[in-house]
Amino acid sequence: MPKSRKTRNSKKDFQKVKFKVGKKIQKADNVTNISFHTRTIQVTQKIKTATATEPSSKRKLNAGELLNQFQHYSTTTRNDAVMGLRELLTLHPEAITQNLVTVIERTAQLFVDKDPVVRQSNIKLLKVLFKGVSDKYISPFFHIIGIHLCCAMTHIFEDIQSDSLQILDLLLDHFPRLVITNSNQILPNFIEQISRQRLGSKSSSSALSINPNLKMASHKWRAKVLTRLHKLLSAILENDTDASGKTSIVFVNQGIKSVTWEKDVITQIQPWPKHFISRWQQPAFVQRLQVNTVSQKNPGVSLSDEPGLKRFVQLIIPLLIECWIESSSIGAFTGKGLNALVTADSLPLRTSVVNVIQLLCQYVIKKYPSSMTYVAVDRSMENQCDESDNHLNIQNKIQKGWLRKNYFTDLKNHLMKDFPYSVHVAAKKKEKLDNQSMPDAVCNLNVAVCDIMTHFLSGEEDVKDKWEITVVKYLEDVISQNSQDRQRTRVVIEIINRLVRYSKTINVDSVVGVMIQKYKRSHPLSSDKKLLFNFFAGIVLHQEYKQKVGSDIIDTFMNSLPDLFIDMVSNNQEMANHILRVMKTAACQNCWILLQQLNKFICKTAENGDILKIDLHSQKSLLELVFYVPQLQKSSLKLYANLVRNEVFPIQSALYILQIIHHRYSKLDHTPNGDAEYISLMMSVLLGATDGEKEDRNGCEINEAAANSFLTESKQWERTLVLSEAVSSHLTQYGDKEQMIQILSGFLQKLDSSYTDSNLISLMVLSKQMEFYNYPVTSTLTGSLVPHFWAFCKKIIATRNILLNDSLDEFKNGCTSVLQKMVESVCCMENGLCLLVKILKETLHDKKANHLELKKVCQTGSLWICHYDHWIDRLKTPAHVIPEISTTVSLIQKSYPELREQQWWSDFSFLVSRLKI
Amino acid sequence: MSTMQEVLVTSDAAGQQWNSSIWDPVAGTSLLTFKGSTSAPHTLSILNNEYILGALPTKSVIQVWSLQKTDNTQMQIVCPGRVTSLTTTPDGNYCIAAVSENIHIWQVCTGHLLTVLSRHYQQIKCIKCTDDGTCFVTAGDDNLVIAWNLAKVLADCGNPSHQVEPDHVWSHHSLPVTDLFIGSGGNRARVVSSSLDQTCKMYDLVSGDLLCNLVFDVSITSVTMDTAEYRLFAGGSNGVIHCIDMFEMPVQKERHIEKESEDITCFEGHKKQVTCLCVSINGGKLISGSDDCNVKIWDVFSGQCTKTLDHKGMLTNVFLIPTPPALLDLNTPRNCIIKPFQRHLYIPGEQTDESDGTVTMMFNHSEKMESVVDYMSDVSSYLSQITEISDPEEELAKCKEEIAMLKSANHKLFQFAAKGILHQEEQIT
């Protein structure tokens, strides 16, 4: 039988393969090739479908898709979606507003997500989201957030509860206003986190709850919740700051339309009261929907209306007091007196309890000040009223004092029992680091307790309470310590402020004395100084409170002001302005101590140039102080004059101080002596130093050098012009005009006749305004001035300064008219024609004389001659003058033949030829 | 003379010819003069259209003249101090005067000093009362403008411990306030104050808001507005009267540049500071008094000075009043009683000197009734024009009947109440 193929094959199959050393084993056919390397491939992006215009995350998912995944059953997907949306929103903030509805709905749902990771990333998403959205956009959806937040806060899982606090934090950071308006929704649930309603009793009372399953110690948890409450209240208070001006002195209103009147410009203004304007600015009728989560029979608590607030206070204060009692037992010290020791464990809870009460007091008082008022029973009032009125009255009274009535004794008993608190350093914990900060924290706690208690001071007239003395004593200690804590100092000062204002029984002298010491000691630039300054300014300037502090304190404070201002000028402008305002108010109130120093102070600022450092507005208010200086001295007047003439000094301020001095003298010091001082001041402003002292002379020479070149300097020119106009107008208004002119002419004649250009300008303006030429008294003065003016006129006409063109032209016209008038008046005084001859001769000799100049001369000359005709009967002119004129005229004509064609020249020569003796 | 709507009252500091004088502002003629000494600025005041009051600048005396021509009697009332500013309420019941920094309020018909307010720190320069007499505003050298509610101020008078808080204290000015103006509208009026700090400030009396701040280039010594409060006039210390429009033109789509505006921005003519300003009731005439001894009457719209009334001294008071009936008709009955002002604070219930606790008061019933009837006839004629109601005479008669009925009912009510009260008292006793 032949061997079957099968057997042959099978043999082959089972043939033993011999392996030899050194030869590689042949691999079997079916061996898997493992020579390749593997790497994981992550498909991080979709190969995308969406259009490029739509913003999408890295994974090319757009917002809609991401939001869909928010509800995915898998936690990873949800988490990814949340992260993706966060990324999307950071990259494309504009995408937020497009999808706000869905974004908010979906994110809100995740508040109660079971997975902690998702919740955490959701919070991160919210951070981004809230940053990019304004109050206005979120407000329509806020109730959704609120409802979900409430869900989270009341959730049975405590980690969801604790995460909900983080969300609340975020909301408070970004939308405090909305949280306040929706407080009736959030607050009750919030409080329930640490309490539970007492079973069987009325709904308004509740007790602290203890959950033994909590991971955290219950007092820590409470502290945590109370910190949030504290935050909420402080957010409310911050947002309300504009609502009521708690500051004692409101100096300047911002945002008031200020309209400046200008000549020849029609000024139109339509003023409206603020409440009108606010109606325009938000014309829509907005009614906030109050979503009341609590059923009708159990009215909710809220922070925005009084009954709600009252209920809230009713709910929270007992709880807080319970917390306080509990916290005192934490340190395991029981027994009398030992409560005063605060351990590190109980400190956070105590602090937050006290802080919450503190803020609550502040808020309630701010909103409803009547809640604190002490209601004395007034029999006589009640008798007078009708029955219905009486009923109303009583109701009013009950409402008025509710806060004080209900809680004052409770708070006093608990908080003040062991006051002041001190640190207890537990022996075991000595090595802990935070021991350092303990005394500070306890100190803050004590101060906060003081703050709460002093809120209950207002207007009480009954017997001195022991606690008040303790508080005052403690505060004294706190101030005298050198603490760096600014916040604490602020609170302490507030408390003392309240003490001074409201307490009728406590003697505050010693505390205020300590404060003034501290005020004196502290560095001018420190914040303490500023706080204390504000405190004293508020007290000292108030009519009533002023009497409560000793006069020596007021004196010390007032005495410190001038020096403080000088310190502040270069460092802190704002503060300097504030000081100025305080000084001015004090000056208005006739504060004698300040008034005595005022003159010295103003002179000092003017001398050392401080006055140039401050802005225009404060300069004005500084100068206004001049009005209140009791006795203006000559030396200081000289200083003011120098100041006004100083080119660096702004012209507006210069004019202002002139005006102030003018009013000052025309009102108060209208005595011969005062008049003399006033005139000499005005003249020294006008003409520079006039009293002929040598030192001043030296200064004057330098000035002269400048003054002669000033025709080319527009600034100086304008300044001189404006100043002299102001001075002249003041002089015309001061007293009787004729007398004034007499005095002035006497004054001017005494001066030597070397006028500088600027002096001439001033004199020109002065004579224009005062109309010197109309008064016979001044004839000699006018006579002596005319040649000077003449020369000056020529100079001006010759000057061509492009910068000055307009004002110069105007001035030229003014000059010629004044000159004409003066000449007219002089002409009547006989020597007019002689003058004309002299001037004509001058022009002849002056080779450079141009036509324009000659024209002016001739025009004036024609006028003169006309007048001469008019006056000829009365006056005797030297006979030689008239021939002299005609010869000169002919001479001029010879040297300038081209003049013949000019009309004015022919007119003039005609007149001259007609001139008869 | 019967066509005269308003008369002008002026006084100057010289007092050579007269203390104060009443002028016809249209004709510029003097109608009546009051002799004797001079009156200090902001102290001349008309009381109940029957008397004119003015305080001496140097002595602590208020002079009182009757507005009736025939009556030349002059009364002098001694005050606790030199009066720096004075005003009377429109109803003529109270006289408010500033003695340096204190405000004294007297009841005119009894002379009781009802209260003394001290809130200012320095001399008070100006007191003005609103047109309905509910509020008054004071301003002084201490830069403060203070608004008071008269009812609040007088509410608890006689109780020395009672502290009166003013309605508003405005401390925006930085130099002494020189003048005040109160618009129409009672306690809803607008108040304008002018000051040496070159500004005028306008306040809302009801809310206390600062409405606007007008800045000028000189110190402002007087301020006023026209009746409709369309324009504000501010007299400067350099004699220029500035004008500011208190309305805004509607926005025009096209503006023609060549068109020159014809509105007036200032009135120039006075040489020295303008101390007094007033505007006629129709808003067409501005009257100004200045330290240059002139009263000028200006046309508001053209800016022209239409008349100048020369005086012998600096003007201290210039104001317009509706023509008092006493001036026209010599037989107008007297309704107002003035008793000398007391120096001591009146304490209710305390019997002082000879007065037996009764107060003599006279009400101008007759005049009031007449005016009501006049008004009714006006209304009825108006109605008859529109609806053609039969006869205005008949209507008038009806109205009169109605009034008579009301009066009798009122009387009955009063009788009943009086009886009730008396009866009650009897029972008690």
Q: Which residue of A has its CA nearest to B241?
A: A263
**What CA–CA distance (Å, rounded) separates A682 from A662?**
9
Residues in contact with B223: Cβ distance below 8 Å, sequence separation at least 6, in sequence order: B179, B180, B181, B192, B193, B194, B200, B232, B233, B234, B235, B277
- Tens of pLDDT, residues B262-316: 567 788 888 888 999 999 988 888 999 998 888 999 988 888 888 899 888 889 9
**What CA–CA distance (Å, rounded) separates B354 from A473?**
57
Please spell the DSSP secondary structure of A301-369, one letter per residue. P-SSSHHHHHHHHHHHHHHHHHHHHHHHHHTS--STTGGGEE-TTTHHHHHHHHHHHHHHHHHHHHH-G
Using 50, 70 and 90 to split pLDDT, how confident is the model at A637? confident
A733: chain B residues, CB-CB within 8 Å:
237-239, 271-273, 291
How distant, in Å, are the alpha carbons of A74, A80, A147, B72 from that of A116? Answer: 13, 14, 20, 100
B238: chain A residues, CB-CB within 8 Å:
729, 733
Mean pLDDT of A802-825: 66
pLDDT of residue B160: 66
Asked if the model's pLDDT at residue A339 lies above 60, the reply is no
Q: Is A398 exposed, middle or buried (0-12, 13-18, 19+ CB in 10 A)?
A: exposed
Among candidates A266, A273, A621 on the partner chain, residue whose Cβ is nearest the Cβ of B209: A273
Q: Nearest C-alpha of chain B: how many angstroms from A694?
A: 36
Please spell the DSSP secondary structure of B312-377, one letter per residue. SS-EEEEEEEEPPHHHH-TTPPP-----PPPSSBP-TT---TT--S-------HHHHHHHHHHHHH
Judge: B174–A260 Cβ closer than 8 Å, yes or no: no
The token pair that represents A334 in the structure block: 């029981």
User: What residue ranges do the domains of chain A occupy?
Assistant: 52-174, 196-241+293-427+434-458, 461-630, 632-813, 830-917
Q: Name which of A420-434, A668-682, B145-159, B388-402 the model is least confident about.
A: A420-434
- Tens of pLDDT, residues A344-389: 667 777 777 888 887 777 777 776 666 555 444 444 343 443 444 4
- Tens of pLDDT, residues A402-418: 666 667 777 777 776 66
Judge: A585–B171 Cβ closer than 8 Å, yes or no: yes
Estimate the share of chain B in helix, then strand, then coil, as percent rounded to the nearest 5.
15, 35, 45
Start-end of H helices in A154-217:
158-174, 176-181, 183-192
* Residue B157 near residue B116, CB atoms below 8 Å: no
Question: B14 touching A, CB under 8 A?
Answer: no
Of the candidates B246, B230, B352, B222, the one whose C-alpha atom is nearest the C-alpha of residue B282 is B230
pTM above threshold 0.80: no
How distant, in Å, are the alpha carbons of A286, A840, A854, A858 from that of A904? Answer: 80, 15, 10, 7
The token pair that represents A25 in the structure block: 């084993």
Within 213-252 of B, beta carbons closer than 8 Å to A belong to 213-219, 234, 237-239, 242, 244-249
Among candidates A270, A589, A662 on the partner chain, residue whose Cβ is nearest the Cβ of B246: A270
Q: Name which of A30-34, A582-586, A877-881 the model is least confident about.
A: A877-881
Asked if the model's pLDDT at residue A898 lies above 90, the reply is no
pLDDT of residue B130: 92
The two beta strands, B135-140 and B124-129, are: antiparallel
Mean pLDDT estimate for chain A: 71
Count of beta carbons in the 10 Å neighbourhood of residue A914: 9
Asked if the model's pLDDT at residue A542 lies above 80, the reply is no
- Tens of pLDDT, residues A718-733: 777 788 888 888 887 7
A656: chain B residues, CB-CB within 8 Å:
198
Question: B166 touching A, CB under 8 A?
Answer: no
Judge: B171–A274 Cβ closer than 8 Å, yes or no: no
Asked if the model's pLDDT at residue B95 lies above 50, the reply is yes
Asked if the model's pLDDT at residue B375 lies above 70, the reply is no
φ, ψ of residue B62 in degrees (nearest 5): -110, 130
Asked if the model's pLDDT at residue A704 lies above 70, the reply is no
Instruction: For residue A201, give the amino acid letter.
Output: S
Residues in contact with B76: Cβ distance below 8 Å, sequence separation at least 6, in sequence order: B61, B62, B63, B64
Q: Name which of A154-163, A444-453, A804-813 the model is least confident about.
A: A804-813
pLDDT of residue A836: 65
Of all residues in chain A, the percent with pLDDT exceeding 90 is 0
Cis peptide before A630 (omega within 30 of 0): no
Using 50, 70 and 90 to split pLDDT, how confident is the model at A465? low
Q: C-alpha angle with apex A655: A650 to A656, nearest 5 degrees?
A: 95
Question: A640 touching B, CB under 8 A?
Answer: no
pLDDT of residue A48: 60
Q: Which residue of B has its CA nearest to A258?
A: B213
* Residue B274 near residue B289, CB atoms below 8 Å: yes
- Tens of pLDDT, residues A262-305: 777 777 777 777 777 776 665 555 544 444 444 344 455 666 66
**What CA–CA distance (Å, rounded) separates A778 from A737?**
13
Q: Nearest C-alpha of chain B: how many angstroms from A252?
A: 7
Instruction: For residue B256, give the amino acid letter.
Output: H
Mean pLDDT of A131-154: 84
Top mean pLDDT of A706-715, A797-806, B195-204 is at: B195-204
pLDDT of residue B251: 60
Question: B175 touching A, CB under 8 A?
Answer: yes
pLDDT of residue B259: 45
B214: chain A residues, CB-CB within 8 Å:
258-261, 267, 269
Stronger pLDDT, A797 or B6, i.e. the higher one: B6
Stronger pLDDT, A201 or A66, i.e. the higher one: A66
- Tens of pLDDT, residues A190-228: 777 776 655 444 444 556 666 555 556 677 777 777 888
The token pair that represents A210 in the structure block: 């203890």
Stronger pLDDT, A398 or A360, i.e. the higher one: A360
Judge: B121–A589 Cβ closer than 8 Å, yes or no: yes
pLDDT of residue A420: 67
Q: Which residue of B has its CA nearest to A262?
A: B216
Start-end of H helices in B44-192:
150-155
Instruction: For residue B152, give the amino acid letter.
Output: K
Q: Is A47 exposed, middle or buried (0-12, 13-18, 19+ CB in 10 A)?
A: exposed
CATH topology of domain B6-248+262-328: Methylamine Dehydrogenase; Chain H (2.130.10)
The token pair that represents B121 in the structure block: 């720190």
**What CA–CA distance (Å, rounded) separates A96 from A88?**
9
Please spell the DSSP secondary structure of A147-167, one letter per residue. HHHHHHHT-SSHHHHHHHHHH
Stronger pLDDT, A706 or B113, i.e. the higher one: B113
Estimate the share of chain A in helix, then strand, then coil, as percent rounded to the nearest 5.
70, 0, 30
Q: Nearest C-alpha of chain B: how many angstroms from A270?
A: 5
- Tens of pLDDT, residues B324-345: 888 877 777 777 778 888 888 8
**What CA–CA distance (Å, rounded) separates B40 from A245?**
39
* Residue A324 near residue A353, CB atoms below 8 Å: yes
CATH topology of domain A52-174: Leucine-rich Repeat Variant (1.25.10)
| Total residue length of chain B | 429
The token pair that represents B198 in the structure block: 């070159």
Stronger pLDDT, A713 or A538, i.e. the higher one: A538
Interface test with A, best of B159, B175, B210, B274 (most A CBs within 10 A): B175
H/E element holding A745? helix A737-750
pLDDT of residue A335: 47
Buried b (16+ CB within 10 A) or exposed e, B153-186: bbeebbeeeeebebbbebbbbbbbbbbbbbbeee
Mean pLDDT estimate for chain B: 82
Of all residues in chain B, the percent with pLDDT exceeding 70 is 83
pLDDT of residue B138: 93
How distant, in Å, are the alpha carbons of A627, A670, A691, B92, B235 from that of A683? Answer: 20, 18, 10, 51, 27
Using 50, 70 and 90 to split pLDDT, how confident is the model at A802? low
**What CA–CA distance (Å, rounded) separates A601 from A561?**
10
* Contacts of range A622-626, beta carbons closer than 8 Å, 24 or more positions apart: A622/A580, A623/A653, A623/A656, A623/A657, A623/A660, A624/A584, A624/A660, A624/B174, A624/B175, A624/B197, A625/A580, A625/A583, A625/A584, A625/A587, A625/A598, A625/A601, A626/A602, A626/A657, A626/A660, A626/A661, A626/A664
Q: Is A212 exposed, middle or buried (0-12, 13-18, 19+ CB in 10 A)?
A: exposed
**What CA–CA distance (Å, rounded) separates A160 from A856?**
99
- Tens of pLDDT, residues A834-881: 666 666 666 666 655 556 666 666 666 666 666 555 554 445 555 666
pLDDT of residue A392: 43
Helix, strand or coil for residue B44? Answer: coil
Quote the strand ranges of A60-211, DSSP E. 195-197, 206-208
| Region at A436 (left for phi over 0; alpha for psi -120 to 50; beta for the rest) | alpha
Interface test with B, best of A253, A260, A261 (most B CBs within 10 A): A261
The ipTM (two decimal places) reads: 0.75
pLDDT of residue A29: 83
Interface test with B, best of A250, A267, A274, A666 (most B CBs within 10 A): A267
Asked if the model's pLDDT at residue A549 lies above 50, the reply is yes
Asked if the model's pLDDT at residue B192 lies above 90, the reply is yes
* Residue A525 near residue A572, CB atoms below 8 Å: yes
Using 50, 70 and 90 to split pLDDT, how confident is the model at A252? very low
**What CA–CA distance (Å, rounded) separates A259 from B243?**
12
Cα torsion through A320, A324, A327, A328, rounded to 10: -170
pLDDT of residue B148: 92
Judge: A271–B143 Cβ closer than 8 Å, yes or no: no
Quote the strand ranges of A408-474, DSSP E. 422-423
pLDDT of residue A384: 40
Within 267-326 of A, beta carbons closer than 8 Å to B belong to 267-275
How distant, in Å, are the alpha carbons of A310, A700, A702, A728, A787 from that of A754? Answer: 85, 12, 15, 21, 12
pLDDT of residue A403: 66
* Residue B64 near residue B75, CB atoms below 8 Å: yes
Of all residues in chain B, the percent with pLDDT exceeding 90 is 23
pLDDT of residue A788: 72
Asked if the model's pLDDT at residue A88 lies above 70, the reply is yes
**What CA–CA distance (Å, rounded) separates A95 from A125?**
14
- Tens of pLDDT, residues A664-682: 887 765 677 777 777 777 8
User: In CATH, which of 3.40.50, 1.20.1070, 1.25.10, 1.10.1660 is domain A461-630?
Assistant: 1.25.10
Q: Nearest C-alpha of chain B: how many angstroms from A612?
A: 20
φ, ψ of residue A865 in degrees (nearest 5): -65, -40
Using 50, 70 and 90 to split pLDDT, how confident is the model at A431? very low
How distant, in Å, are the alpha carbons of A370, B201, B349 from that of A589? Answer: 31, 21, 36
- Tens of pLDDT, residues B23-52: 988 888 888 888 888 889 999 999 888 889
φ, ψ of residue A524 in degrees (nearest 5): -55, -30
pLDDT of residue B407: 93
Asked if the model's pLDDT at residue A700 lies above 60, the reply is no
Among candidates A252, A267, A729 on the partner chain, residue whose Cβ is nearest the Cβ of B238: A729
